[in-house]
Amino acid sequence: MKIVILDGYTENPGDLSWDAMATLGELTVYDRTPHTDEVVAERIGGAELVITNKTPVSRAAMDACPNIRYIGVLATGYNIVDVAAAREKGIVVTNIPTYGTNAVGQFAIALLLELCHHVGHHSAAVREGRWEACPDWCFWDYPLIELAEKTMGIIGYGRIGQATGRIAQALGMKVLAYDTCQHPKLVSETCRYAELDELLRTSDVIALHCPLFKETEGLINRESIARMKDGVFIINNSRGPLIVEEDLAEALNSGKVAGAGLDVVSTEPIRGDNPLLKAKNCIITPHISWAPKESRQRLMDIAVENVKAFLSGSPVNVVNG
């Protein structure tokens, strides 16, 4: 049984081990694979099992590699695989749905806390000698914000949204949750469901934790921003295209939106002409919410279990069943 990993580097840059996967077949690991059908097909070759993170596996690649029986995605999102083609060909496609819940929720709050305190900026200012030269015993040059009693609106209240909500409530915040699937047991004195319009109008912080569908693409745009409070914070470490970036940049520069913390953008890696790079008070990190070692180890463990389940004849986490 031949197994090919098309782009293993971001999952395992050297601090983890592929040994468990190697026990399941003849394993070949590529750090990166160019995103062309020809190269993808060449590297898959005669392999039966294909593992990918962000390298697309198209119908053309499947046509060129008739031995493929299984495609495992090293992520929750699986839009890089032509699942319809895979279904037609009887190829099982799996994903990894729950590996990074706590890591992503933690990172959303990290972005928010940085907006509130600008820790990195003030640490750099100290090293630049500004505190030493200060006539007072302390200084700050950004507004410092306390979160207790403020309201966080969370759009998408699944596992990750709930993880973010729990931390927000621990900080003394109230949570408004918007989701098409509601769980009454999550409602408390500090957390309740709300319609999207109320969430937009009344939240001090809006965090995006929803999937990218046609109906959510561009959810944050000029019109929805106009319905928000003046001085709102926006956090997005879900999917970049949830935001119309030109509209958010305009709102940041005008002060309508006081700050944004983003771990994702519409095109990744980010392009130099992205308007958010020059927007005021916009923190952008390079899609690393998912990347703590603990989270990546969990992802690898689940990927191995997915392959084992497939080989045993009882596949799990199937997305094209």
In eight-state DSSP terms, residue 221 is S
Q: Does 287 qualify as catalytic in the annotation? A: yes
CB neighbour class for 252 (10 Å; exposed up to 12, middle 13-18, buried from 19): buried
217 touches 239 (CB < 8 A) = no
Dist CA 219 CA 211 (whole Å): 11
Q: Does 183 qualify as catalytic in the annotation? A: no
Beta bridge partners of 174: 151
Question: CB under 8 Å to 155, separation ≥6 — which residues?
Answer: 161, 178, 179, 196, 199, 206, 207, 208, 209, 210, 219
- Of residues 209, 239, 296, 298, which has the active-site annotation? 239
51 touches 33 (CB < 8 A) = no
Tokens of 117: 């305190």
Mind giving me the DSSP string for 1-16?
-EEEES--TTT-SSSS
Dist CA 57 CA 42 (whole Å): 12
CB neighbour class for 68 (10 Å; exposed up to 12, middle 13-18, buried from 19): buried
- Of residues 43, 118, 209, 287, which has the active-site annotation? 287
- Of residues 88, 223, 268, 294, which has the active-site annotation? 268
- Report in angstroms the alpha-carbon separations of 38 from 52, 89, 255: 16, 19, 48
Tokens of 300: 């690898």
CB neighbour class for 137 (10 Å; exposed up to 12, middle 13-18, buried from 19): exposed
Provide the residue type at 15 as one letter. D
- Catalytic residue numbers, as ranges: 239, 268, 287
